Amino acid sequence: MKQNINWGIIGLGNIAIKFAESFKGLENAKLISISSKNHHKLKKFQEKLHIKKKYCFYNYEDLLSCDDVDIVYIALPNSLHHEWIIKSIEKKKNILVEKPATINVDQIVDIKIKLDNQKLFFTEGLMYRYAPHISHLIGLIKADKIGRLISMESNIGRNILKKKNIFGFEKKKKQDKKNKI
């Protein structure tokens, strides 16, 4: 029998909505708890995701104190990550934090020290780290299928300048330019 992992989310911004939607169809993980200081967001999230009222908290500390929550997803503004990571460690919660995990090196060193000798999971939400194509590439490198790796540069993104009207600029067609000559 598979054990369910019960998740809680601290902070209910746009990224938290996307994260919460990812639980649909999962058999071994469930979003059971949410926390926000914004009462409107909390109620909207609760209704949309069918979260039991007893697991909806206006105070982040209350979510961390909930014994039914195994792991927290911290989706707060970057400047609050360090504080709530430390509080999560103190409450013996496993942690997934939105990137960047911290805003400076001293904060991540502090977190590392606090995590020493703890049996807690901690990771930053770098979605590409666990993507199937990355795992495949790492497998090819380890199996020496592509030769000795000397260096590697990778870019994942899109050309935002080709997106339609992203900055409000009007695209000029080549035909329009020809007509002006």
Q: pLDDT (tens digit, 0 to 9) for every residue of the chain, 181 residues total? A: 447 999 999 999 888 988 999 898 898 999 999 999 999 999 999 999 999 999 999 999 999 999 999 999 999 999 999 999 999 999 999 999 999 999 999 999 999 999 999 999 999 987 777 778 888 888 888 998 888 888 877 666 666 565 554 445 455 555 455 555 4
Residues 154 and 181: their CA atoms lie apart, in Å, by 42
* Cβ pair 89, 67 in contact under 8 A: no
pLDDT confidence of residue 167: 47
pLDDT confidence of residue 180: 53
Residues 97 and 9: their CA atoms lie apart, in Å, by 10
User: Where along the chain do its domains lie?
Assistant: 5-126
pLDDT confidence of residue 170: 52
Tell me the CATH number of domain 5-126, given options 3.90.1150.10, 3.60.15.10, 3.40.50.1370, 3.40.50.720: 3.40.50.720
Tens of pLDDT along 4-35?
Answer: 999 999 999 888 988 999 898 898 999 999 99
Which amino acid is present at 91? Answer: K
12: Cα within 13 Å, side-chain hemisphere = 23
pLDDT confidence of residue 151: 83
What 3-state DSSP class applies to 126?
A: coil
